[in-house]
Amino acid sequence: MSEALIDALNPALFWEYRLVLLRGLAFNAYVFFAAATVALVVGLAAALLRVNRAWPFRMLGTLHVEVFRNAPDYIMVIWVHFVLPLLLGKLIGQRIEFSPFVSAVIALGFVYSGYFAETFRAGIQSIPQGHLDAGRACGMGETAILWRIVLPQVVRRMLPEAVNQFVSLFKATTIVSLIAVPDLMYQVSMVTQQEMRPLPLYTGAAVTYFVVIYVVAGSVRGLSERWRNKIYA
């Protein structure tokens, strides 16, 4: 390798700014956890609509899934941050502004709720009718059946797919730098502007994301496999 290349890749600069960058990574984590919560709650609600007996509910659920699954997350982030507050503001006749963090969480949460809704729905529909009948025959109410019999099995079934979706969501958190959420990518570009040395910084960021996702997703997969194996022996 040439001297110039080694020099260009020298991670010393990355290391020097490690605290700033780590704070950025923490922001990725905040956005991730908040958006994942929104995605799970909204996704479950949409899935329950989709398996409802009444067709208007089913249609509403389908509409939700199709809209959000087919919306590019980049556009959604921009739209929620710049357009939605205007619309809402006109609606209530008052100026509204979302903080970048809130916009990012709403946008990514809703986009991913579309994916999670489908995963939940497939999971719910894969539970044998007999399991529900057994609960009813024991005098359990529909809510108890949902929480005690259906969802615990759905969660175990959907885990492998959900882990993949969480990985995508985590990757998607990097686009929030677009609306100035101070995440890792945002910090990297700030430092780059200052130091004029994009190579080690962006490479360092790429390696960091890779390592974090690889390690965390890997261990979650391992844990969930062991947990699932107990019931699908």
Partner 1 sequence: MDAVPAIRVVDLRKSFGALEVLRGVSFDVHRGSVVSMIGASGSGKSTLLRCINRLERPSAGEVFIDGEPMGGPVTASGERKERPLKDINRMRRDLGMVFQQFNLWPHMTVIGNVIEAPLRVRRMSRKDAIQLAEECLARVHLSEKGKEYPARLSGGQMQRVAIARALAMQPKAMLFDEPTSSLDPELTDEVLTVMRELAADGTTMIVVTHEMAFARDASDRVLFLHNGQIEEEGPPDQVFGQPRSERCRQFLSKKLQ
Residues lying near partner 1 in the complex (CB under 8 A) are found at 128, 130-131, 133-142, 144, 148-149, 152-153, 156, 230-233
- Considering beta carbons, is residue 95 or 230 the nearer one to partner 1? 230
DSSP per residue, the chain:
--HHHHHHH-THHHHHTHHHHHHHHHHHHHHHHHHHHHHHHHHHHHHHHHT-SSHHHHHHHHHHHHHHHTS-HHHHHHIIIIIHHHHHHHHHTS-----HHHHHHHHHHHHHHHHHHHHHHHHHHTS-HHHHHHHHHTT--HHHIIIIIIHHHHHHHHHHHHHHHHHHHHHHGGGGGGGT---HHHHHHHHHHHH--HHHHHHHHHHHHHHHHHHHHHHHHHHHHHHHHTT--
Minimum distance between the CB of residue 151 and partner 1, rounded to whole angstroms? 10
Nearer to partner 1, 99 or 125 (CB): 125
Tokens of 196: 């004029």
CB of 226 or CB of 230, closer to partner 1: 230
Smallest distance, partner 1 to C-beta of residue 225, A: 15
Output the smallest distance, CB 153 to partner 1, in A. Answer: 5
**198-229 and 184-195 helices cross at what angle (nearest 10)?**
160
Task: State in angstroms the smallest separation of the CB of 145 from partner 1.
Answer: 10
Nearer to partner 1, 60 or 127 (CB): 127
Specify the residue, 89 or 152, whose C-beta has the smaller distance to partner 1.
152
Give min distance, CB of 79 to partner 1, in A: 40
Residue 156 CB, nearest approach to partner 1 (Å): 6
CA distances (Å), origin 166, targets 16, 205, 219: 30, 19, 13
Contact 52, 82 (CB under 8 A): no
Q: How far is the CB of 125 from partner 1 (least distance, A)?
A: 16
Q: Which is nearer to partner 1, 102 or 149 (CB)?
A: 149
Nearer to partner 1, 102 or 140 (CB): 140
Within 10 angstroms of residue 94's Cβ, the number of other Cβ atoms is: 8
